Chain A
Amino acid sequence: MMAVSIRIAAIAAGASLMLASAPVQAAVFNPESFTLENGLQVVVIPNHRTPVVNHTIYYRVGAIDEPPAKSGLAHFLEHLMFKGTDKLKPGEFSAIVARNGGQENAFTSQDYTGYYQTVAVDRLEKMMEIEANRMTGLVLTSEEIEPERNVVLEERGSRVENNPNGKLRELTNAALFMNHPYRIPIIGWEHEIRSLTREDMMTFYRDWYAPNNAILVLSGDVTVAKVRPLVEKYYGRIPARAVPARIDWREPPPTADRRVTLKHKQVQQATWSRRMIAPSYSTGPDKDTYALQVLAEILGGGSTSRLYRSLAVEQRTAASVGAWYDSGARGPGTFGFYGSPRAGHDVGEVEKLVEAEIAKLLEDGVTETEVSQAIQRLKDAAVFARDSIDAPSRIVGSALAIGRKIEDVESWPERIGEVTVDSVNKAARSLLIGKGGVVAILLPEETT
């Protein structure tokens, strides 16, 4: 029971972020899909290595769909989904999963909410039975809500209050997004978490948790022929329900650079980052999203990237440095740079050198070799992603949950392969020239 989101991932995880959000090789996952009469979309991703299956349900509702002043509602509800239903006592859901040798969890992002169990494939039916039951059968009492409210506050304590990086991330997002609800933390502001009511939870649940607003992803030792009767049996009997129209939030064009500096007693290692609003798969331009993935790889993908080579190897100024790009969002995407100085250097030097690399990029552009090497690495990453049952589920499920299609996921390597020097340079210029971004700096508190 956790809140995970690309947008709340640590700055230090920048390099791995791209992989996490990088979809998939063409005709590699070979998912099959069908839709029930009640609107539930079902995706089957076969992998017959081990008789194990990952059973995940995604709801097309996330933190951005919360009513005003109700931040944290989507995530709080996610926690409460592990309490009782009309058929299960509180705690019984997890007890059943455990008795069946299953591992389970859930995640809330800005754009969607998901619940999963990984089990031996002969236990899949039981998982479907209880997951389908909690789609409409949730029963909440204050006896369950109040201790869980404290759990959520403790979670916030660990992720944010006790964690200077987490605090800075909240401040930075609030500065980056002027209007879009991505400015509000998924876990919610403390005072609003404290004020959420049972009525808030149940209204949100009844509004959004419906088969026609969900995607069921089955990844592992399964076939459509085997699972379809089970899916019909358990999910098929849930009637479709009208779901509210989701607000199409837009962000006004950024017009000024902003700086957020957090000085904190706990901090010993300073960090610097700059991020800006970027095209996403949803906002487009579509072509730029692929070019920018290649750009992020060239600038910040690992130990031979432009930034690492310049700042860490040649200038010996940074202990870590890189770039990231998140295109997989229902709203705007983000592109960012980060760096952390080595002992004897400061964030000002890191900033200057990163900006010099950006200036050089805008002046000279990228090379043919850089682009073709980056494309190959990205395509290879899609092959590595198949060596798992969880990653394909996450990649396909999250893509569908933000409004993409299976074909988009499957054609990802092809689209990456079409990126050219020219398209990278154009996308880079469009992203990096004259747009306001947010510089975020974390510093130790000065001691006297």
Chain B
Amino acid sequence: MVKLFATVRRALVALPVAAIAIVAYAGSAGAVTVERVVSKGGIEAWFVRDTSVPLISVEFLFRGGAALEPQDKAGLANLTASLLDEGAGDLDSQAFQERLQNLSIQLHFDADYDTFGGSLKTLNRNRDEAVRLLRLALLQPRFDDAAIERMTGEIVAGIKRRASRPSYLAQRVWQQAVFPNHPYGRPITGSEQTLKNITPADLKGFVKSRLAKDRLLIGVSGDITAAELGQLLDDAFGGLPGKAAANTVPEAEPKALGYTFVLDREVPQSVAIFGLPGLKRDDPDFYAAYVMNHILGGGSFSSWLYEEVREKRGLAYSIYSYLQSRRGASYWMGSVATANAGMAKSVDLIRDQVQKMHDEGVSDEQLENAKLYLNGSFPLRFTSTEKIAAILLHIQFDNLGIDYLDRRTSLIDAVTKEDIARVAKRFLDPGKLTFAVVGQPDGLKGTAKAPDVGTL
């Protein structure tokens, strides 16, 4: 087993800037040292210094995303994200974009259900201007009418483009059926109709009420010192308001459990999304569920679903499952695409494998192999500055602790067969499996009418 992050070395690094506190953790192989940098202004970032290339990656997010927006203005967070780099301060859209382009500054914002995120990647040569543009985007976005109209047009075109994909429609059917009265049931993009309801005042209100220091998390990696980073944090984020408007995502009550939906589309290959309620990221059984999912349908070429559906029978090119943990709901989900003639068989096989996991759990060998993969492949997530910065961000978002990199191996190693059997019994109930199928699958009937996701 590869133990890159096995032991902990703590060091307090003395720095010329007194207000920067650093706690350093290093693995035994010296692969990664995570530092907690707190700026003079009190902005915190988790940081891995990496001088291989003269650039930095900054990944950040604000807790709270599209799940907080009113239903009739669905798409507000996403539209805001598309507009923050479309003009700020004295720079109109083209002027702002020209600076980014000509200095090769990669600045992006994106909205998810529970987060509003951003990323900045820049060559050190242009770092000062990159930070200035990020600050402008966060503090003084313009929301000019022409830019709003243009980005709305692009988003609507994107919705229409995705609507031609059965896989997108299946995802929509599943979400809308399972979360009919919750923001998780609707698309992050909103619809053509809800986008029309969004005004410049809504966009400004979103920025003012949501993008605040008390919701901000930051991960950084690259060729910069901790002292320089402290200054950067104040320059980029120091002007944000201290507190965001109070908000909570309501807990989602999943519906339609055990249902099968078939949305008729004239395509030769059916696409299915399947899933059932799972467990939260902070559940004590999370690691057992994580290992269990890996064995059942995780990303390698040896999962049960891959073996039964693809390798033995050739019923699919792609089949996989994963755990999705959101603030207001968590679920176990998967996806498969099979020619119309074979989809009913794929559905049966998926049910069988879920049943088998529920009834029998896993073998010693399967568990051992899963641990070898999950621990052995972890270092592969540290091969670029943005990947490292993203991991630092997610560790914070999930409240895993700054020593998580050192603890992860033992958390996975601690999972036993009994843990997996328990967690499978607890939530992997085949009777709760909801299938959303798009296509014309032979011999597969819906148990209820599919929600209408085709009209935009």
A-side residues, CB < 8 A to B, are 1, 12, 47-52, 82, 91, 94-95, 97-104, 118-120, 122-123, 146-155, 157-158, 161-165, 220, 264-269, 301-304, 309, 312-313, 316, 319-320, 340-343, 373, 376-377, 380-381, 383-384, 386-390
Contact = CB atoms under 8 A, between A and B. Distances in A.
A49 B52 contact: yes
Contact of B164 (A100, A161, A268): A268
Contacts of A316: 146, 149-150, 153
Nearest to A269: B160
A164 B53 contact: no
Question: Top 7 A-B pairs ranked by shortest CB distance?
Answer: A101-B376, A150-B314, A319-B157, A147-B314, A380-B104, A157-B269, A269-B160
30 contacts: A50-B31, A52-B379, A91-B302, A91-B307, A91-B311, A94-B302, A98-B369, A101-B2, A101-B377, A101-B378, A104-B301, A123-B376, A147-B311, A151-B316, A154-B316, A161-B267, A162-B271, A267-B164, A269-B164, A304-B97, A313-B93, A316-B153, A373-B102, A377-B101, A377-B104, A380-B104, A384-B106, A386-B53, A387-B52, A387-B57
Nearest to B269: A157
B123 interface: yes
B2 A304 contact: no
A313 B94 contact: yes
Nearest to A122: B2
Given A47-B52, A266-B265, A158 B337 contact: yes
Interface string B96-111: 0110011010100000
Nearest to B149: A316
Interface in B48-94: 50, 52-55, 57, 93-94
A162 B106 CA distance: 34
Given A52-B380, A268-B164, A269-B161, 16 more contacts: A51-B4, A91-B311, A99-B376, A101-B372, A147-B312, A147-B314, A154-B314, A154-B315, A155-B318, A157-B339, A161-B269, A162-B166, A343-B156, A376-B102, A386-B52, A387-B385
Contact of B269 (A120, A158, A264, A380): A158
A52 B29 CA distance: 12
Contacts of B54: 383
Interface string B350-385: 000000000000000000010011111111101111
Interface centre among A103, A152, A341 (most CB of B within 10 A): A103
A49 B50 contact: yes
B160 A154 contact: no
A179 to B, nearest CB: 30
A388 B221 CA distance: 13
Given A101-B376, A155-B317, A163-B165, A388 B383 contact: yes
B383 A384 contact: no
B266 interface: yes
Chain B contact residues (Cβ within 8 angstroms of A): what range?
Answer: 35 or more
B121 interface: yes
B316 to A, nearest CB: 5
A436 B29 CA distance: 59
Interface string B165-183: 1100000000000000000
A52 B55 contact: no
B320 to A, nearest CB: 13
A97 B161 CA distance: 37
Given A47-B52, A52-B379, A267-B164, A162 B268 contact: yes
Nearest to A101: B376
Nearest to A219: B383
A99 B102 contact: no
User: Which has the most chain A C-beta neighbours within 10 Å: B192, B339, B374?
Assistant: B339
B102 A50 contact: no
Interface string B113-132: 00000000101000000000
Contacts of B98: 304
Given A52-B379, A268-B163, A151 B53 contact: no
Contacts of A309: 94
Interface of B: 2, 4, 29, 31-32, 50, 52-55, 57, 93-94, 97-98, 101-102, 104, 106, 121, 123, 146, 149-150, 153-154, 156-158, 160-161, 163-166, 192, 265-269, 271, 300-302, 307, 310-318, 337-339, 369, 372-380, 382-386, 456
B339 A303 contact: no
B179 to A, nearest CB: 24
Nearest to B387: A388
Contacts of B101: 301-304, 373, 377
B104 A384 contact: yes
A327 B378 CA distance: 36
A98 B385 CA distance: 25
Contact of B301 (A82, A267, A389): A82
Nearest to A147: B314
Given A319-B157, A377-B101, A94 B301 contact: yes
Given A82-B301, A158-B337, A387-B384, A320 B52 contact: no
Nearest to B313: A147
Given A266-B267, A304-B98, A387-B385, A102 B377 contact: yes
Contact of A383 (B4, B123, B312, B338): B123
B150 A313 contact: yes
A179 B173 CA distance: 45
A371 B377 CA distance: 43
Given A50-B379, A163-B165, A265 B310 contact: no
Contacts of A383: 53-55, 123
Contact of A148 (B123, B161, B314): B314
B383 A269 contact: no
B2 A158 contact: no
B255 to A, nearest CB: 28
A283 B134 CA distance: 44
A52 B378 CA distance: 10
A120 B301 contact: no
A342 B153 contact: yes
Contact of A52 (B153, B154, B383): B383
Contacts of A98: 300-302, 369, 372-373
Given A51-B29, A100-B372, A387-B385, A151 B310 contact: yes
A427 B379 CA distance: 45
Nearest to A373: B102
B383 to A, nearest CB: 5
Contact of A304 (B94, B160, B385): B94
Contact of A50 (B165, B372, B382): B382
A95 B318 CA distance: 18
Given A52-B379, A266-B164, A387-B385, A343 B4 contact: no
B337 A118 contact: no
B2 A120 contact: yes
B163 to A, nearest CB: 5
A1 B316 CA distance: 12
A95 B376 contact: no
Nearest to B2: A120
A303 B97 contact: yes
Nearest to B298: A98
Nearest to B303: A98
Contacts of B301: 1, 82, 94, 97-98, 104
A140 B144 CA distance: 63
B377 A103 contact: yes
B94 A99 contact: no
Nearest to B336: A154
B137 to A, nearest CB: 14
A164 B164 contact: yes
A304 B379 CA distance: 38
A242 to B, nearest CB: 33
Nearest to A390: B383
Contacts of B94: 304, 309, 313
Nearest to B310: A151
Contacts of B29: 51
B373 A101 contact: yes
A123 B385 CA distance: 23
